[in-house]
Structure 1
Amino acid sequence: MTADVIRVEGVSKSFGPVDALADITLHVRRGEVLGLIGDNGAGKSTLIKILTGYHQPDGGRILFEGEPATLKSVVHARSLGIETVFQDLAMVDDLPVYLNLHLNRELTHRPIPFLRRREMKHRAREALDSIGIDIPSVTAEVGMLSGGQRQAIAIARSVYSKAKLLLLDEPLAAMGAKESALILRLLQELKRRGDIAIILIAHNYGQVIDICDRVNLLQHGEITFDRPAAETSVAELLDLVNAEYHLGEP
């Protein structure tokens, strides 16, 4: 068993009278993919924003690589190695792949701040090839690529930034079968490498079962289910999620 990259113990968060998170405890090991599922409003977004340093928890604690951590800001979380890929990707469509991969991390000459374009192109190609992303040219504008390719580049950017924990917010949403297969292959490759912990938020339980090592179900601000993916099923997950809607029915 590898060590936990992140461990969350008893974390809570309220917004006025609304308890978004009640008592969250979860952990992810290096090389592990944790599937985080739950209905809309369950608290997934709040939890991710706490793990990225955007929100501060009201209670509980976070351990990062075994040490207590106060994630002061998004910049601070990223400096520790916590990277997030949201649905909007934060890509610049009219910039080429290699510049998107180096966004806010551009390589420049000193003392004259000219871009080291040739080196960035070379590093971008190496980064993409190292995790099996087939992009014909790193000089292609990102806006001309498919949704799957754009998602893959956003993930590659996080990996290239030496992420230790990668948070993926619905990376397969609104994708066709071919594009989803591209991202699933990428996640399998990251699992094979074994050096990154991944939390995957997804609504497609079949994909969660296929790619994740464990599954956590978040309901009403609490983790109500934690089990190896191999020991559950799509039917069981659907039953658990839908059960609350049938409470009180005759």
Structure 2
Amino acid sequence: MNQSGRGIFISALLVLLTACSAVGSDFRPPAYYQENSQGDSKPLVGQSLFGDNDQKIAAMLDHRVALPQLNRVAILKISPDNYWRHYSDNFNQLSDSLVSSLVMPLRASARVYDASFLPAMLIPAEYNLPILREAAARFQADTLLIYSSQCQTYRRFRFFDENKSRAYCQVEAVLLDVRSGIIVQSIASQEDYDRPPASDQYNAHERDKQAELEALAKALGEVARQVVGFFEQVPVLGASQ
């Protein structure tokens, strides 16, 4: 599928999806593991069908996720920034709300001592998980939250009333355990926001952008809520499981 076709598909998907929804992967349940005669938990074992990488793949599938009691979460946005931050002070405030809607709920978690963006000087020109994992380790982050966002604004034109528009934003995120290199959670969040009423403060395009920023802030807030919920479930590293 070419870039144009992919954009049309994603736009259509955003409309079809429930306006306010989020789907996050579940934590692996203890029942996944079987107990041997000594009472130790061992992962389920399946028959291998391939050769060279079987041992590595088996180790990744068998890995039992555990994180420190207190964690640093490094955050990395991999989609282009389009926040109009330098447009006006009002949009500066809206752009800042995007950061606070993601960072502040994470910092409020009892399992998180710090949540902050990965320093720009550590971010490679081309992304791949091994390099990003090393960059997060240099930042002494226990987990790396990688996310991308995409927004669309739709308008309905009317003859006798103000034109209506609504912004839809989708955020996709993964949480990487830096120690193991395992992606321990994935999240997809979709939110919408109606364009604010007309005023002298904003023109039509500015109001569309305001709605987009508000929808994006809501979606990022839901991502943060899902990550905090994950931290509440994951065992403490080094504790008996």
TM-score, length basis structure 1: 0.22
TM-score, length basis structure 2: 0.23
